[in-house]
Structure 1
């Protein structure tokens, strides 16, 4: 992943990461409201977004060198990872609590953090280690409070955990592609390559594909895929995998709140404490990279 950039565009990467993940947390709610099958809702999430992403990609790609065939092929594979992630996650969303779905679906958080330190070839610094400890404790509190040991939740949790592992593969591909490509072309190619497999899979499962009510699917597509994923893919080009990985934990915290407000999934004091610890972790993990970015700017530019 590219180093943190002090440029005007890069300075918005961290807010984009958090806002994008908060928007993505609304996705499971829309999947539950959609009157099509869970895999079919994944297809519409991608398919309805393609025209917008294609337009944005065309605008960003104008005047830039065409990406290589190998890069496009890797993005297509990333799109298949993403399609598989959506299929598993959307199936799991209907079988477990929203808090569980967001939490297990973002299992990629800690895998991506490990991947980041492998790339850096060093152990976490003190502040980073403290951030990781806060994130782990916060995640444990959220999971311990929201998880219910029951067959009803267990199968859904497995599906969403599988989704989190597949999501890691997608993010690694995006990480590599963003070193040489702008965010919208990356997202457009990955989205387009994942749509058809989801449609085929939905039909093979015999799911309803055509909706009677388009509203949840339009919100899901424009909110989660165009805006949420757009902000996330943009941020990936400027932030380390360590920061991106912990940033993903904003989703389960927001998902727990949505589940409480919409479905009455009670938030305990442990839930609130877990969300607060994740917030502390996000502040702490940002400090080392912000210092590094400021150190690269001439003193007169700090004024």
Structure 2
């Protein structure tokens, strides 16, 4: 487990990597809608197209891909299973609800992962951390509130996205535990390869369109979501506490809602903007150190 003290020493770019990774991942729902293939097939291409570039980056960055010991390989395979099923559920949900909703419900993993980190540390959050979590929860509630009237139309997509969030939390927990023994790029490559091997037969058996007429959205999905997004987040998981990771991930719904407003005319209300502002404020607060009281 990475402590707040360890976070402040070195690895100063880990939090920046975490932020940039979440910005890249926020593009995912938009690209899935333009992929031209089925939701499971989109997940396969996201992982499959990223593999050659991940292998090259790993080789030339001093992290060559290698198969770890058997027990660790099985653990990474389990992480890949969670991630593959997460992608299948989330991509299906994206097509059935608003971009902001899909990302918001998918990011319930943020709270699960943060809670898991606090449980592993065997401590309650500090007053400042607790307030940041409450503020983030209030921001999420505000983002959901405007679409509550339309929940009947979006219920299937919202439930699929929520299921994806639970699965993604399992993936994050396993990855965080394996980062002590495996470098980020080999870990991401093996998980991506295993996940792609699961998703391709799934897409074929489901009768989805697997080969697109236009590859541009799928290539962008692989580069943005898998190489950049997951690559930066897997790196950050080795250095940033789960609580900070969880709150930072909540920036994705606000960014996806903004894309939905820009490209699909998905209306943003004043409450939506307020919710996004609360999440940003929570992110700032969770990064602040509480000043210890001076002895009297």
Bin for the TM-score computed over the shorter chain:
over 0.9
C-alpha distance in 2 between matches for 1:63 and 1:220:
24
Cα shift at 1:60: 4.7
Asked if 2 retains the 8 angstrom alpha-carbon contact of 1:141 and 1:270, the reply is: yes
What is the TM-score of this pair, normalised by structure 2?
0.93
Using the alignment, how far apart are the partners of 2:66 and 2:215 within structure 1?
A: 38
Aligned equivalents of 2:39 and 2:105: distance in 1?
17
The count of residues paired between Structure 1 and Structure 2 equals 290
Report the CA distance between 1:188 and its aligned residue. 0.8
Residues 41 and 209 of structure 2 are in contact (CA less than 8 Å); yes or no, is this contact kept in structure 1? yes
1:196-235 alignment to 2 at 5 Å? 196-235=197-236
Q: 1:279–1:150: structure 2 CA closer, same or farther, 3 Å change rule?
A: closer
What are the superposed Cα offsets for residues 185-217 of structure 1, whole Å, 9 maximum, x if unpaired?
A: 111111111001111111111001011100000
Cα 1:180–1:285 change in 2 (3 A) is: same
Question: Partner of 1:297 in structure 2?
Answer: none
State the partner residue of 1:159: 160
Query: Given the alignment of the two structures, is residue 52 of structure 1 paired with residue 53 of structure 2, yes or no?
Result: yes
Deviation at 1:24, TM superposition (A): 0.4
Task: Tell whether the 8 Å contact from 1:2 to 1:179 is kept in structure 2 after alignment.
Answer: no
Tell me the distance in 2 between the aligned counterparts of 1:6 and 1:116. Answer: 18
Contact 2:185 2:231 in 1 (8 A): yes
Aligned to 1:295: none
Aligned ranges for residues 96-245 of structure 1 at < 5 Å? Answer: 96-245=97-246
CA distance in 2, matches of 1:33, 1:63: 33
> What is the alpha-carbon distance in structure 1 between the residues aligned to residue 240 and residue 147 of structure 2?
30
Mapped partners of 2:117, 2:199: distance in 1: 30
Q: CA deviation at 1:147?
A: 3.9
Distance 1:46 1:148, change over 3 A: farther
1: CA distance, partners of 2:225 / 2:64: 28
Indicate conservation of the 8 Å contact 1:146/1:271, yes or no. no
Q: Provide, for residues 32-85 of structure 1, a one-character-per-residue CA deviation record: whole Å limited to 9, x for no partner.
A: 011111110110000000111122233455589973221121011101110000
Aligned to 1:251, what secondary structure does the other structure show? Answer: helix
Distance 1:125 1:183, change over 3 A: same
- In structure 2, the partner of 1:2 is 2
Q: CA deviation at 1:5?
A: 4.0
Partner-residue secondary structure (3-state), 1:288: coil
Distance 1:142 1:68 in 2: 44
Q: Structure 1: how far apart are the matches of 2:214 and 2:280?
A: 36
TM-score computed with the length of structure 1 as normaliser = 0.91
Post-superposition offset of 1:140: 0.6
Render the CA deviation track for 1:119-172: whole Å, top value 9, x for unaligned. Answer: 111111011011111101101100112344343300111110100000001000
- Give per-residue Cα distances to partners, 1:88-138, cap 9 Å, x unaligned: 000010000001000001110111111011011111101101111110110
Structure 2 gap segments, 5+ residues each: none
State the partner residue of 2:75. 74
Match of 2:33 in 1: 32
Compute the RMSD of aligned alpha carbons.
1.9
Give the direction of change, closer, same or farther, for the CA distance of 1:106–1:63 in structure 2 (3 Å limit): closer
How far is 1:182 from its partner?
1.7
Q: In structure 2, how many angstroms separate the alpha carbons of the residues matched to 1:135 and 1:2?
A: 22
Q: Give me the whole-angstrom Cα distance separating, in 2, the residues matched to 1:179 and 1:205.
A: 37
* Cα distance between partner residues in 2 of 1:242 and 1:46: 27
